[in-house]
Structure 1
Amino acid sequence: MEIININSFQIIGISIKTANNDLEKLQHDMQGLWNKFITESIADKIPNRISNDIYCVYTDYDGDYTEPYVAILGFKVENLDNIPSELSGKSFAGGNYIKKVAKGNLFNGIVYDAWKEIWALDIPRAYHADFEIYGEKAGNPENAEVEILVGVEET
Structure 2
Amino acid sequence: MSLEFCRKEELARTLIGLEIRSSHATAWEDIPAFWERVMAENLLAELGDVSTIYAVYTDYAGDWQAPYTMVLAVACDAEREVPEGMRRVQVPAQNWASATLPDVTPQAVWAGWTEVWERWEDRDRRSYEVDLEIYRFGGEAPQVELQIGLEEGA
TM-score normalised according to structure 2 size: 0.86
Question: For 1:78, what is the secondary structure of its paired residue?
Answer: coil
Number of residue pairs matched by the alignment: 146
- Give the match for residue 42 of structure 2: 41
Matches of 1:105 and 1:151, distance apart in 2? 21
- Measure how far apart 1:31 and its partner are: 1.6
Matches of 1:130 and 1:138, distance apart in 2? 23
- Measure how far apart 1:70 and its partner are: 0.2
Matches of 1:98 and 1:17, distance apart in 2? 24
Matches of 2:56 and 2:139, distance apart in 1? 16
- Give the match for residue 86 of structure 2: 87
Matches of 1:138 and 1:148, distance apart in 2? 17
- Measure how far apart 1:116 and its partner are: 0.7
Write 1 or 2 for the structure with the bigger share of helix.
1
Question: Are residues 138 and 63 of structure 1, via their aligned partners in 2, closer, same or farther at CA, if it must alter by over 3 Å?
Answer: farther
- Give the match for residue 112 of structure 2: 114
Question: Are residues 80 and 70 of structure 1, via their aligned partners in 2, closer, same or farther at CA, if it must alter by over 3 Å?
Answer: farther
Question: For 1:45, what is the secondary structure of its paired residue?
Answer: helix
Write 1 or 2 for the structure with the bigger share of strand.
1
Deviation readout 1:49-82 (Å, 9 max, x if unpaired)? 5x62010000010001110000000101112531
Paired residue for 1:14, among 13, 18, 28? 18
TM-score normalised according to structure 1 size: 0.85
- Give the match for residue 72 of structure 1: 71
Between stretches 113-122 and 69-78, larger displacement belongs to 113-122
- Measure how far apart 1:100 and its partner are: 1.0
Question: Are residues 116 and 101 of structure 1, via their aligned partners in 2, closer, same or farther at CA, if it must alter by over 3 Å?
Answer: same
